[in-house]
Structure 1
């Protein structure tokens, strides 16, 4: 198996609230939007985030207990500490809940915050001076 992830799909208890947050609040454009079922967003070259209605998600897995997201963060890295503050404000204004306000991290000069979307999906907004993407697309963590 190649070391790659192309789809990240999260069970979403309230798909309409997720749509309002990402599309109306943040201005994201859906790649595919199937009302009552799933909405997909391209979040990076070759990478799609899917927000799947929890009941449909559980049906797809054949597991009625699979209805929420747990133990997962999605990280959005930005160019500066000021950008962290600005993105957190944008997420909050769109209906997100700030779990951890912007602060210095425990290592590596990281400055970050955590914000949940209306369904509890946790976003880490971070400035990490040791992180970059090479022109080839390779990630460098220094």
Structure 2
């Protein structure tokens, strides 16, 4: 198997809140939006993030009506400077996110970051780490 992930699918108890947060709050454009079922966002070349209505997600997995939970997971977005961390944190909060950690110096590697939980419990780290970069071909460089 190639070292790639093409879809990340998260169960959501409130699909409308997820859509509103990502479309209105983050300014993302859905790749495909099936009201009441699932919404897909292209997040990188060859990679899609999907929010699947929880009961239908459980049915798809064959686990019945129990709501699946996401744990031990964060999504991260690196921005160009500290002011961008603050601005995006404010925008996410205005769109229904909950700020868990206000913008601050991180404990590791010179990062300045904030943590914001989306309306479905997914935690985003918004960070500025001058030691990380993304090349034009999409390769992430860690230093």
Q: Normalising to structure 1: TM-score of the pair?
A: 0.94
Give the unaligned 5+ runs of structure 2. none
Q: Tell me if structure 2 keeps the 8 A contact 1:11–1:67.
A: yes
Alignment of 1:13-32 (within 5 A): 13-32=13-32
**Cα distance in 2 for residues equivalent to 1:119 and 1:107:** 27
Alignment of 1:33-48 (within 5 A): 33-48=33-48
Give the unaligned 5+ runs of structure 1. none
Q: CA RMSD in A?
A: 1.2
How many residues are aligned here? Answer: 142
Alignment of 1:108-127 (within 5 A): 108-127=109-128
Q: Tell me if structure 2 keeps the 8 A contact 1:54–1:68.
A: no
Deviation at 1:106, TM superposition (A): 1.0
**Cα distance in 1 for residues equivalent to 2:12 and 2:122:** 8
Q: Secondary structure at the match of 1:31?
A: strand
Indicate the residue corresponding to 1:85 in structure 2: 86
After superposing on structure 2, the runs of 4+ consecutive aligned residues of structure 1 that deviate more than 4 Å are: none
Q: Normalising to structure 2: TM-score of the pair?
A: 0.94
